[in-house]
């Protein structure tokens, strides 16, 4: 005889709430899951901060930095999101990418949030190769326009 499937009360990666048979007030759990999916879909944050903004808008998201205070205390590297008039937090998983609107670039989580630093356009050298410099500038421009590198 096969074993019946056993479900935890949340999903393994992002703790989305799961329903179980005969559950009362299902709409509460479904609505919570929809809010979390809304935060995670095409993930973007306003910026990186240690202090919650004084008047956040509904749905606003932030990356919590290494020295959080106030309502964000104890949530280092979490994604803080404001929903239903209160702050909630998501714990990132390795490989997760978010777009930082204030910096115009992506951050990658690999145990901590990382973003690429600025790359200088090459100058100098004994031989000036115009075509090579134009190609390198084009590559840097493409990486900046995709949010992989910050704008210089």
Q: Please, what sign has the CA dihedral across residues 25, 42, 64, 93?
A: positive
> Closest Cα to residue 59, out of 80, 73, 77, 78?
80
d(CA 65, CA 76): 6
Q: Is the pLDDT of residue 1 over 50?
A: no
β partners of residue 62 = 80
d(CA 16, CA 10): 5
- What does the pLDDT look like over 15-26, one tens digit per residue? 667 777 777 777
- What does the pLDDT look like over 87-101, one tens digit per residue? 989 899 888 899 999
Confidence (pTM): 0.69
Quote the tokens at residue 42. Answer: 């095409």
CB atoms within 10 A of CB 137: 12
Residue 3: what pLDDT? 46
Quote the tokens at residue 1. Answer: 């005889």
Residue 99: what pLDDT? 92
d(CA 15, CA 146): 30
d(CA 62, CA 126): 46
Look at 46-50, 83-87, 94-98, 145-149 and tell me which has the smallest mean pLDDT.
145-149
Q: Is the pLDDT of residue 52 over 90?
A: yes
Quote the tokens at residue 23. Answer: 């559950």
More confident position, 24 or 71: 71
């Amino acid at each position: 005889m096969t074993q019946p499937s056993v479900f935890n009360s949340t999903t393994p990666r992002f703790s989305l709430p799961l329903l179980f048979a005969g559950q009362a007030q299902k709409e509460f759990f479904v609505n919570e899951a929809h809010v979390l999916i809304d935060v995670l879909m095409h993930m973007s944050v306003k910026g990186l901060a240690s202090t919650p903004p004084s008047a956040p808008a509904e749905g606003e998201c932030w990356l919590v930095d290494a020295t959080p205070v106030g309502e964000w205390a104890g949530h280092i590297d979490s994604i803080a999101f404001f929903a239903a008039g209160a702050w909630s937090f998501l714990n990132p998983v390795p490989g997760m990418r978010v777009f930082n609107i204030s910096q115009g670039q992506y951050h990658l989580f690999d145990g901590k949030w990382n973003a690429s630093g600025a790359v200088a356009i090459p100058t100098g050298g004994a031989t000036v190769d115009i075509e090579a410099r134009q190609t390198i500038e084009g590559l840097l421009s493409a990486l900046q326009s995709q949010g992989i590198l910050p704008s210089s």
